[in-house]
Structure 1
Amino acid sequence: MMSAPQTGPSGRRLGAIHRVLVVDDSRAQRLLLASSLTRQGFSVAEAASGDEAYEIAKADPPDLILSDWMMPGMDGLALCRRIRALGAERYIYFILMTSKTEKGAVAQGLDVGADDFLTKPVNADELLARISAGDRILTMERELSDKNRLISSTLQEISGLYDALDRDLFEARKMQQALLRERHRDFGPASVSLLLKPSGHVGGDLVGFFRAGADKVAMFSIDVSGHGIASALLTARLASYLSDGAPEQNIALVRDTDGRYIARPPQEVATLLNILMLEDMRSDLYFTFLIGYLDLRSGIVDIAQCGHPNPALLRPERGVEYIGESGMPVGLLDDAAFSQWQVQLRPGERLLFYSDGFTECTGHDGQMLDESGFVEIIQRNRDLETGDFLEALVWDLDMFCGAPDFPDDLSCAMITWRGAPHDQPK
């Protein structure tokens, strides 16, 4: 809030200029000017030389200096130059009094930093008019300086908040990555490997696996709509419903009559998650979902697909094949119906559940990689070992993208089927 304007003894409104330093080697001229300015409500200091004026200004900067040009020792021009070199926190308005009228002299004065000129002998009305002009300039300058200080202070505060948020997001990223307690596990006839790379600090993708009863392993892939904190919070909650470490909380598991945990049918898991999203979480978000149960005795995978990209099946002899039935995402419709289907894995085959961050990644020309491009990347790296294979997919995608960051989260869960014990070479 701006304070009410002050007035001097003469009723003159006092703005930015309150203290005036009069500099003149003529005592009579100083007294004349000081008397006139004092009557107008200014606080006036006097200096008989440039050196004296400089020391006063250095110790207690005035708002305005009214200085004669021609003085013995340090003249008004040299004084102005030294005042500007002081770098005072608040700007000092400088008026030179001179009998010089040549344009070159005026230009010289402006060049060293003078703001205005008065021709001697000084007319009282003109003096006040020049000071009033300077007062308007100083008022605007100081208002601008105050606003700049406020802006700088606010920017520093915002910067501090951003730094704190960045630190929190960094910790959140570590916590989200910790949801993948294992990125690879060998189950004998098969192994499961995971890849998760958020496009920002945190993301909305989640992959994982868990034991789903005797001789069964579940693998899932989730892609929450949107990006950022809200999506990441939802993935953290979903991770608790599909936890490998807490079977009693895992929505995909149910106790059998003998007390052991067995797997619910995958389509039933999708239905339960849909109910949770719409009735319990009540979120505007939704997610695509892919869950499969691998039977370690037969290599059969029972799969429910809910709007997620079609799984990719890498066959040693026949290349890459997309399989799947699409389906509705989870959390969109109350009456969404989910189905399930099967795929029979053969020894040496790999089954990939991946997010659309791969296929919808755009290259230098703005074209998406698409499913055909993803096939080429998979084929190119087919002979690599499991961990190297997943990292190579990201490497090749990075080469295709050519940007410092991927536009979307990347995630992939992969089953490598070696074959049941009786199928494996002795």
Structure 2
Amino acid sequence: MLPHAYDSAAAGEATGQIRRVLVVDDSQMQRRILCAMLRQWGFEVWQADSGEAALRLCADLLPDAVLSDWMMPGMDGLDFCRRFRALQRDSYGYFILLTSKSDKGEIARGLDAGADDFLTKPVDAGELRARINAGARILAMQRQLSDTLGELRAAYDAVDRDLRQARTIQQALVPQRSRVFGTSRVSLLLKPCGHVGGDLVGMFSHCDRKLGLYSLDVSGHGITSALMTARIAGYLGGDFPDQNIALDRILQGTLFRPPEDVAQRLNARLSADPGVVEYLTMAYAVADLQTGRVDLVQAGHPPPLLLRADGSTEFVGRGGLPIGLIPQARYDRLSLWLKPGDRLLLYSDGITEATLRDGTLLDQDGLRMLARTCQGEGTEYLDDLFWRLTEATRHGARLEDDISAALLEFAPDQRR
């Protein structure tokens, strides 16, 4: 059962993608006839007289094609085909069953077992060569597809590495999840549904008395939206107050601009950029930590939820236009007063539009109920909110949309 000597150059020219052929037949005469034809055409030929012997050969040999008799004692052609398909190999092996059967049901059995083609005995040389050539074309396409998939996987891996790095960079836009201002505290939650997302939350202050906090949602998902959030983070960053468009530098110091002015300035910048079709919704608030006064603007963002210390709740806001959609858009300011122990929650629509297990949306009433049941303070409260949300949704921990929230817990400094 050693391979016949062959001219490798001639084999490559004659066979294309098929060079090694394994012939399996319990008839010595049939094997001689098939092997003689195949060797004449330049193939490297191996032979076995049973399915068991063929499998032992396949442990060391990976044939490009197999010609196997259907009816053999012991392991028949169907069983051998199934065992052959179960072998671990990187390339595909083309399998031709030799049979005298022509019934459609029997042919279907052969196909189910993994056979690619059939030849009727006695085998005609021209038909055998045609079947081999057809197999060679299929293997050529399979190997070309395999090469293409390999290239695609390499490209995907490169993109995946870049996206993971982009995720790290985007997470750096929220360097602190919680920060204490005097005796009050702001906590943040940011959960993109993919590697990167279009939601952003943040906080900043230049003094102990006032702070700014925001929640925004850029239209769309993915890289483009993430780039927009990075840009907005630069406009509303807390590390470099002189670059923050929400702060006004004057001779006496730095002041917070009115929220509606911040929205209009941001809208003017985004609307003026050619080729940028993305827009964003935003809830932005300026809180006076001594008096409890909060001035906010709602630019197409879900209405903030006011959680009173006495257990009552209220959604605040009048809607408003998204930012970057209409160049001359105007925005209104809304004011409210916090009392000791009150909390103000800014959030994205990834929360209220989350799909529950019954197919309905969480909506504002669902958020109100969820917010009342959450435990803890600061980031613990927000993490509990996120956990309860994922438990209630149809998809569990897999997000359909980015989820973000900013929580202000008001506690006036009694020492002032």
TM bucket (normalised to shorter chain) is: 0.7 to 0.9
TM-score (norm 2): 0.76
Aligned residues of 1:15 and 1:135 also touching (Cα < 8 A): no
Residues of 2 paired with 1:358 and 1:92: CA distance? 58
Alpha-carbon shift at residue 25 of structure 1 (Å) = 9.8
Structure 2 counterparts to residues 179-218 of structure 1, below 5 A: 179-212=173-206, 215-218=209-212
**Equivalent position of 1:61 in the other structure:** 44
**Equivalent position of 1:279 in the other structure:** 272
Alpha-carbon shift at residue 189 of structure 1 (Å) = 3.7
Residues 25, 251 of structure 1: alpha-carbon distance in 2 compared, 3 angstrom cutoff = closer
| Partner AA of 1:151 in structure 2 | L
Aligned residues of 1:77 and 1:109 also touching (Cα < 8 A): no
**Equivalent position of 2:350 in the other structure:** 357
Asked if 1:267 is matched to 2:260, the reply is yes
Q: Secondary structure at the match of 1:418?
A: coil
| Partner AA of 1:61 in structure 2 | E
Aligned residues of 1:213 and 1:262 also touching (Cα < 8 A): no
* Correspondent of 1:163 among 135, 157, 160: 157
Asked if 1:407 is matched to 2:400, the reply is yes
| Partner AA of 1:347 in structure 2 | P
Residues of 2 paired with 1:196 and 1:238: CA distance? 15
Asked if 1:347 is matched to 2:347, the reply is no
Q: Gaps spanning 5+ residues in structure 2: where?
A: 1-9, 82-95, 101-120
Aligned residues of 2:51 and 2:77 also touching (Cα < 8 A): no
Residues of 2 paired with 1:18 and 1:180: CA distance? 60
Residues 413, 116 of structure 1: alpha-carbon distance in 2 compared, 3 angstrom cutoff = closer
Asked if 1:293 is matched to 2:286, the reply is yes
Residues of 2 paired with 1:181 and 1:89: CA distance? 58
What's the CA shift string for 1:142-195, capped at 9, x where partnerless? 111121112122222222222222222222212111111111111114211111
**Equivalent position of 1:68 in the other structure:** none
Alpha-carbon shift at residue 241 of structure 1 (Å) = 0.6
Residues 218, 110 of structure 1: alpha-carbon distance in 2 compared, 3 angstrom cutoff = closer
Residues 343, 282 of structure 1: alpha-carbon distance in 2 compared, 3 angstrom cutoff = farther
Residues of 2 paired with 1:191 and 1:18: CA distance? 73
Structure 2 counterparts to residues 368-379 of structure 1, below 5 A: 368-379=361-372
Aligned residues of 1:212 and 1:261 also touching (Cα < 8 A): yes
| Partner AA of 1:337 in structure 2 | R
* Correspondent of 1:86 among 42, 57, 67: 57
Alpha-carbon shift at residue 115 of structure 1 (Å) = 5.3
Q: Secondary structure at the match of 2:241?
A: coil
**Equivalent position of 2:87 in the other structure:** none
Alpha-carbon shift at residue 104 of structure 1 (Å) = 7.4
* Correspondent of 2:230 among 236, 239, 243: 236
Alpha-carbon shift at residue 421 of structure 1 (Å) = 2.2
Alpha-carbon shift at residue 305 of structure 1 (Å) = 1.1
Residues of 2 paired with 1:366 and 1:18: CA distance? 57
* Correspondent of 1:147 among 135, 141, 145: 141
**Which protein has the larger Cα radius of gyration, Structure 1 or Structure 2?**
1
Residues of 2 paired with 1:326 and 1:414: CA distance? 20
What's the CA shift string for 1:176-215, capped at 9, x where partnerless? 1111111111111421111111111111110001115572
| Partner AA of 1:388 in structure 2 | E
Residues of 2 paired with 1:165 and 1:115: CA distance? 44
Q: Gaps spanning 5+ residues in structure 1: where?
A: 1-7, 46-56, 66-75, 97-102, 119-126
Asked if 1:316 is matched to 2:299, the reply is no
Residues of 1 paired with 2:397 and 2:299: CA distance? 31
Residues of 1 paired with 2:297 and 2:127: CA distance? 79
What's the CA shift string for 1:294-335, capped at 9, x where partnerless? 112211111111001111011011411111111000011112
| Partner AA of 2:167 in structure 1 | R
TM-score (norm 1): 0.74
How many residue pairs get matched? 361
- Cα RMSD for the two superposed structures: 3.8
Aligned residues of 1:20 and 1:43 also touching (Cα < 8 A): no
Aligned residues of 1:198 and 1:408 also touching (Cα < 8 A): yes
Residues of 1 paired with 2:174 and 2:142: CA distance? 47
Residues 338, 134 of structure 1: alpha-carbon distance in 2 compared, 3 angstrom cutoff = same
Residues 128, 78 of structure 1: alpha-carbon distance in 2 compared, 3 angstrom cutoff = closer
Aligned residues of 2:21 and 2:64 also touching (Cα < 8 A): no
Residues of 1 paired with 2:213 and 2:178: CA distance? 12
Of stretches 240-249 and 154-163 in structure 1, the one that deviates more from structure 2 is 154-163
* Correspondent of 2:300 among 294, 307, 326: 307
Residues of 1 paired with 2:234 and 2:383: CA distance? 26
Q: Secondary structure at the match of 2:150?
A: helix
